[in-house]
Chains A and B, each alone.
Chain A
Amino acid sequence: MTDATTTTLPRRKRLNLNVLGPLLAMVALIIIGAMLNLSFLSPENLTNVAARSAFIGIIAVGMTFVITAGGIDLSVGAMAAFVAGVMIMVMNALVPVMGAGVPLVLVGMAVALVVGIAAGLLNGVLISKVGIEAFIVTLGTMGIYRSLVTWLADGGTLSLDFALRGVYRPVYYDGILGLSWPIIVFAIVAIIGELAMRHTAFGRHCAAIGANEQVATYSAVKVARVRMATYALLGMLVGLATIMYVPRLGSASGNTGVLWELEAIAAVIIGGTVLKGGFGRVWGTVVGVLILSLIGNILNLASIVSPYLNGAIQGVIVILAVVLQRESKSAK
Chain B
Amino acid sequence: MKRRDIFKGAALVAGLAVATGAQAQDETYTIGVAIPSATHGFMGGLNFHARDTIERLEATYPNIEFVLATAGDAAKMVNDVEDMVATRGIDALVVLPFESEPLTSPVQAVAEQGIWVTVVDRGLTVEGIEDLYVAGDNSGFGQLAGEYFVDNLDEGDNIVVFRGIPTTIDNERVDAFTAALDGSGINILDMQHGNWNRDDSFTVMQDFLSRFDDIDAVWASDDDMAIGVLAAIEQADRQDEMWVVGGAGMKEIIGRIRDGDPQLPANVSYPPAQISTAIELTALGLVSDTPVSGRFIIGSQLITPENAEQFYFEDSPF
Contact = CB atoms under 8 A, between A and B. Distances in A.
The yes or no verdict on A and B being binding partners is: yes
Nearest to B231: A249
A154 B318 CA distance: 10
Interface in B222-278: 224, 227-228, 231, 235-236, 252
Contacts of A44: 210, 236
Contacts of B197: 255, 258
Given A39-B211, A173-B235, A308-B166, A300 B203 contact: yes
Size bracket of the A interface: 20 to 34
Contact of A296 (B37, B203, B224, B236): B203
A89 interface: no
A263 to B, nearest CB: 12
Interface stretch (A111-119, A121-129, A155-163, A230-238): A155-163
A52 interface: yes
Given A155-B39, A254-B40, A307 B163 contact: yes
Contacts of B203: 52, 296, 300
Given A155-B43, A249-B199, A307 B191 contact: yes
B159 to A, nearest CB: 15
Given A156-B45, A249-B202, A303-B192, A254 B317 contact: no
A278 B244 CA distance: 51
Contacts of A219: none
B198 interface: yes
B231 A156 contact: no
A253 B41 contact: yes
B38 A45 contact: no
Given A300-B192, A300-B203, A307-B192, A150 B39 contact: yes
A156 B317 contact: yes
B207 A300 contact: yes
Contacts of A173: 235
Contact of A255 (B40, B166, B190, B193): B40
Given A155-B38, A155-B317, A248 B202 contact: yes
A48 B317 contact: no
B47 interface: yes
Contacts of A253: 40-41, 198
B178 interface: no
B93 to A, nearest CB: 22
B208 interface: yes
B211 A37 contact: yes
B44 interface: yes
B210 A48 contact: yes
A290 to B, nearest CB: 14
Contacts of B224: 157, 255
B108 interface: no
Chain B binding site: helix, strand, loop or mixed by DSSP? helix
A8 interface: no
A328 interface: no
A150 B44 CA distance: 9
Contact of B190 (A150, A256, A258, A303): A303
A314 interface: no
A307 B210 CA distance: 18
Interface in B157-211: 163, 166, 190-193, 197-199, 202-204, 206-208, 210-211
Contacts of A29: none
B92 to A, nearest CB: 25
A307 B160 CA distance: 14
A191 interface: no
A308 B165 CA distance: 10
A30 interface: no
A297 B202 CA distance: 12
Contacts of B39: 150, 155, 254
Nearest to B45: A156
A42 interface: yes
A251 to B, nearest CB: 7
Query: Which of A40, A45, A253 has the most B CB atoms < 10 Å from its CB?
Result: A253
A322 interface: no
B115 to A, nearest CB: 28
Contacts of B202: 248-249
Nearest to B163: A307
Query: Which of A156, A173, A253, A301 has the most B CB atoms < 10 Å from its CB?
Result: A156
28 contacts: A39-B210, A39-B211, A44-B236, A45-B207, A48-B206, A48-B210, A52-B203, A154-B44, A154-B48, A155-B40, A155-B43, A155-B44, A155-B317, A249-B198, A249-B202, A249-B227, A249-B228, A254-B40, A255-B199, A258-B197, A297-B207, A300-B192, A300-B203, A300-B207, A301-B211, A303-B190, A303-B192, A308-B193
Interface of A: 37, 39-40, 42, 44-45, 48, 52, 150, 153-157, 159, 173, 248-249, 251, 253-256, 258, 296-297, 300-301, 303, 307-308, 310
Q: Considering the complex of A and B, which 4 residue pairs feature the smallest CB-CB distances, nearest first?
A: A155-B38, A155-B44, A156-B317, A300-B207
